[in-house]
Amino acid sequence: MTIHSVELDSPVHRSFRLTRPSSKPQVATQVRPAIVLPDREARALLAAAERADVSRDGCFSAGPAGVQVWSGPWNGLLGRHGDSEHLGSVDWSYDTPSRHYITVYRVMVTAQGHARGETAESLLQRVMGLAGVEAPADALALPVPPPRDPFRSELRASRS
């Protein structure tokens, strides 16, 4: 997968706001195994996020690709974020593994979120809690990678 950042002057879609790219580090965690929500729970999550939207004194901004978590409601001119900081997001894809499901595949914590004590686990729990769904405890625990092949390592070392 290739990801490109695109800088926009104003939000394109009212319910999903893009942030400007930054040089500050962001922490992205893959959700494994992915969390699959049936349509009913996905709709409940989106409805709850809409009720707690940044434009309604909340801290969530939901859209077709996931939910962004902000430090507070947007208070800037013309609906901009003002002094609210983007803490991170929970990203998903629709209709996977089949129709009428969403699959949560990534949690991202921004540098601002990390500075405020947010972790991938805390963001995932906040967003999933909107729908009353508890994220599996091991969703963000990646398995230990297999040990390196010692014969391959020796071959590389001898060629150098």
Task: Tell which residue, 48, 53, 68, 63, has the closest CA to residue 108.
Answer: 68
- Pairwise CA distance, residues 24 & 2, whole Å: 20
- What pLDDT, on the 0 to 100 scale, is given for residue 151? 62
Q: Is 89 helix (H, G, I), strand (E, B) or coil?
A: strand
Q: What count of other Cβ atoms lies within 10 Å of the Cβ of residue 10?
A: 9
Alpha-carbon separation of residue 25 from 38, 56, 115, 119 (angstroms): 33, 29, 11, 14
Cross-strand bridge partners of residue 21: none
More confident residue, 20 or 111: 111
- Pairwise CA distance, residues 104 & 41, whole Å: 12
- What pLDDT, on the 0 to 100 scale, is given for residue 138? 75
Work out the pLDDT band at 10, boundaries 50, 70, 90: very low
Token digits for 145? Answer: 């990678």
- What pLDDT, on the 0 to 100 scale, is given for residue 21? 55
| pLDDT higher than threshold 50 for residue 8 | no
- What pLDDT, on the 0 to 100 scale, is given for residue 19? 53
Rg of the chain on CA atoms, in Å: 19
Task: Tell which residue, 6, 69, 28, 40, has the closest CA to residue 132.
Answer: 40
- Pairwise CA distance, residues 49 & 16, whole Å: 11
Task: Report the pLDDT averaged over residues 8-29.
Answer: 54
pLDDT tens digits for range 86-142: 999 999 888 766 677 888 888 899 989 999 999 888 999 999 998 888 887 777 776
pLDDT tens digits for range 46-91: 899 999 998 888 999 998 889 999 998 888 777 677 788 999 999 9
- What pLDDT, on the 0 to 100 scale, is given for residue 4? 44
**DSSP secondary structure code for residue 65 in this structure:** T
